[in-house]
Each structure stands twice: as C-alpha cells, then as structure tokens.
Amino acid sequence: MERMLYTATPDGTVNFTLRKTLVIAAAALAALLLPSAWAQSTPVALTPPMGWNSWNHFAEKIDDATVRKQADAMVSSGMRDAGYVYVNIDDTWEAGRDAKGEIQSNSKFPDMKALADYVHSKGLKLGIYSSPGPKTCAGYEGSYGHEEQDAGTYAKWGIDYLKYDLCSFDEIMKKAGSPEAAHKLMLDAYTKMHNAIVKTGRPMVFSLCQYGADHVWEWGASVGGNLWRTTDDISDRYGSMSLIGFQQAGLARFAGPGHWNDPDMLEVGNGKMKPDEYRTHMALWALLAAPLLAGNDLTTMSPETIAILTNREVVAINQDKLGKQGDRVWAEGSQEIWLRELEGGAKAVGIFNRFDWPQVIHVDWAKLRLKNSGKARDIWAGKDLGTLPANYAAQVPGHGVVLLRITE
C-alpha cells in the first residue's frame, strides 16, 4: 500500500523528515517526566508480544469462523504452548456506527463478544485494529472523534490488544500548517487513545502503526505505545524481510520491557521464502526482541513451518527477560554478525549470509567484544559445539544464518 511520507510544499503539506529536533527533544523529555498515572494498571508486554495477526495471509478475507480456526490451530499445533497468545484481527472487521455512535462489527463478525469468549476459552487473547483517522487503511470506519467510546466498546467485548494504524489521519496532519503542528497532532492522537484505554481499566497492549515516521522509537513509549512499527509493510519475500530486518541496526536502545520496536509481522510459512530464509527471519526477529506475530494460515502449516515458529530456544532468545534488543556488531559486504545480550551473561549470536549461495564466515570473537566463544550451541542444528576456535569458520547457507547461544 502506497502512503506519503510528506514533502514540504507551498500549500502547507508537511515534511516529517525536516521536522525540528526541538519537537523530538520535547517528546523525549515528556517521556522521562511522564506521570505514572499514564501507565496501565497491569503492565503489559513485558516481553515482546507473541501471537498471530490476520493481515499478511488473509487481508480482507477474514471472518469470525476463520479466526476461531486459527485459535484452534494455535493450540493444536503447539504454538500456544510455545508462548503464542494473541489472536489479532487486523483491518476490515468494521461496519459503521449506530445512532449513539457506537462502532459496529460487520457481517463477517456477527458477535465480537462471543468471539472473544471463544478465544479466551482456549487460553488465548483477542486483538483488534483501528485508526486514529476517520478511515482505516482499507477504507473502513476509524476511531476519529470516538476514541473513548471505541476503547469502551473494545473493553466490553473483551479485547486485549489494539493495533492503531495512522492511515487517513495523515490527511488531518497535512492540514496542520507546519511539520511541528502535524507532529503534535499525531502524538496527541496516539495519547488520546492510550488514555482512553487506561480509562477502561482493561489491560490492552497498545500497538502503534505509523510505519516508523518521525523517529517513532524516540517518542512511542511517551504516548503509551507498547510497540511501534519501525518500517513500512513487510511482504513474503527475502528482499522485503531482510531489508526491514537488517535496517533495525541502531534502534536497540529504544526498546525494553513494555515498549518494543516492531519491524512488522512474520511471514514464516506463507510460502514465498525458502526454509533457510524463514530461519533467518525468525532468528533476526528473535535477536531484535521483535514481536512474534505469525502472519500465516495456522491451519495448513507444514511440520517445518511449525518447527521454525515453535523452536523453544529461538523463542527463549526473543522472550529473554532482560529485554535487551540485539544489534549488529560486525558487517562486511554481505556478511553480518548480530549479538544480543541475554539474562545471566549468555549471548545470542546470529551469523548471517545475505548472499543467496553458501559462504564461509570467519568469526573473530574479539571483534564481537568477546574473549572467546565460550560454550557454543548451534540452535537451528540443535547441537552443542563446545568451545569454538579463535577464528571460527561458520558454514552459512545462502540467505541463511548460523544462530549460536553462547555461555561462559
């Protein structure tokens, strides 16, 4: 989906990339000074949210029956037991509003409360989607002017997660008159919905989606975001996934328990990437402490897809309690090494080959700021490797990764 990232023009269209650093500094200061009253009473997303979202595979072809089947499959496939919890309905569930302005679900979702009850009965949680604008990205009813009412409705239905997608709110921002004013409008819009959620008293994960505009990582937490998309939409192609994933370098310091960078949902199992590419996707998202929201059809998964999504050791890296996002520590051409510090002094190391044929990648531990390899385990191979040589030669498949967990 095309969307504008705003260029300054004489007619008042704003330019986000030229906004004043002053605005960012003010937002950062606000984040530091935020009263605790802004926080939800029950902390949510202390580790990156895990679950499933309807958009990547089903887009507008999503309905009540399909969501129930996904919930069933999340349980029967073992995904729930591996940590996947949220079943998130994305765009296209919305109808208009009734005479009192209350949002209605359309005929694809005849009874949202009953659906939430069903999902909860499986030990799972239900997520929903809206926009601060009058219309969602797919042209359905947004929450503009109805924020408190909508949050109240979601709470009444038993919703546990809201993805709030900028979409048509950009039209309102374009009329703001200046980049600073537009930026403030956006922050106010996200804050308004956050406050509305807090007011309901129901814990809900608040997921910001505005494609990474305006350095959202610098202020996402200050408007109550538990996660914020850092990029435009992912697609089921190595080019898209790897561009988005490797472009997260440098964002680690903005993430932590309760507030995460979100490089978009998973494409694992959607069929357009090779298994090694999906292993790269999953390993990179684990190192990035990224939300793990499966975006495939959970009812038709191959054993290999299930194995990739539910690998306990990869999930454990993603869900590590320290909540420290990993970062790139070394790169030369198509070879990259990323490292994530884990609880108790362990480390996860991803040795990535961005070429599409196999390469040997030499790992110099000193360059990773490590004395030696410690005790290494190859996670995708499920093998303990012991102490590795000073100049370890990792054999990495094309577009693949060797993912190590190393302990002293």
Which residues are annotated as catalytic?
A: 165, 233
The verdict on 214 binding ligand GLA (CB under 6 A) reads no
| Beta carbon nearer to ligand GLA, 64 or 91 | 91
In the window 284-303, what residues touch ligand GLA (CB under 6 A)? none
The runs of H, that is alpha helices, within 53-111 are 55-58, 64-76, 79-82
Q: How far is the CB of 163 from ligand GLA (least distance, A)?
A: 7
d(CA 27, CA 401): 38
- Is residue 297 helix, strand or coil? coil
Q: Does residue 2 touch ligand GLA according to CB under 6 A?
A: no
Contact criterion met (CB below 8 Å) for 338 and 327: yes
Residue ranges in 86-115 that form contacts with ligand GLA under rule CB under 6 A? 90-91
Residue 165 found at the interface with ligand GLA (CB under 6 A)? yes
Q: Is 55 in the site for ligand GLA (CB under 6 A)?
A: yes
CA torsion 300→304→308→311, rounded to 10°? 110
Q: Which is nearer to ligand GLA, 230 or 325 (CB)?
A: 230
Residue nearer to ligand GLA on the CB measure, 138 or 368: 138
Minimum CB separation from ligand GLA for residue 66, in Å? 16
Count of residues of this chain found to bind ligand GLA when the rule CB under 6 A is applied = 10
| Chain residues 3-42 in contact with ligand GLA, contact rule CB under 6 A | none
351 binds ligand GLA per the rule CB under 6 A: no
Residues 127-156 that bind ligand GLA (CB under 6 A): 136-138
Q: Return d(Cα 77, Cα 312) in angstroms, integer.
A: 14
Beta strands 292-294 and 327-332 are: unpaired
Residue 42, helix vs strand vs coil: coil
The residue (of 258 and 291) whose beta carbon lies closer to ligand GLA is: 291
Query: Does 246 sit near ligand GLA (CB under 6 A)?
Result: no
231 binds ligand GLA (CB under 6 A): no
Please tell me whether residue 236 binds ligand GLA under the rule CB under 6 A. no
Q: Does 365 participate in binding ligand GLA (rule CB under 6 A)?
A: no
Kindly tell me which of 205 and 306 has the beta carbon lying closer to ligand GLA: 205
* Crossing angle between the packed helical segments 112-121 and 64-76, to the nearest 10 degrees: 10
- The answer for residues whose C-beta is within 8 angstroms of residue 332's C-beta and 6 or more apart is none
Closest distance of CB 61 from ligand GLA, Å: 13
Q: Which of 148, 233, 327, 356 binds ligand GLA (CB under 6 A)?
A: 233
Which class for 275: exposed (0-12), middle (13-18), buried (19 or more C-beta within 10 A)? middle
Cα separations (Å) of 341 from 61, 119, 213, 296, 337? 40, 34, 28, 29, 13
Report in angstroms how near the CB of residue 90 gets to ligand GLA at its nearest.
5
- Tokens standing for 118? 């069903």
Q: Where do the H-state alpha helices sit in 2-78?
A: 21-33, 55-58, 64-76
Decide whether 30 or 138 has the Cβ nearer to ligand GLA. 138
Residues contacting residue 33 through CB under 8 Å, at least 6 positions apart: none
Residue selected from 14, 209, 289, 396 as contacting ligand GLA according to rule CB under 6 A: 209
| Binding site residues, ligand GLA, CB under 6 A | 1, 55, 90-91, 136-138, 165, 209, 233
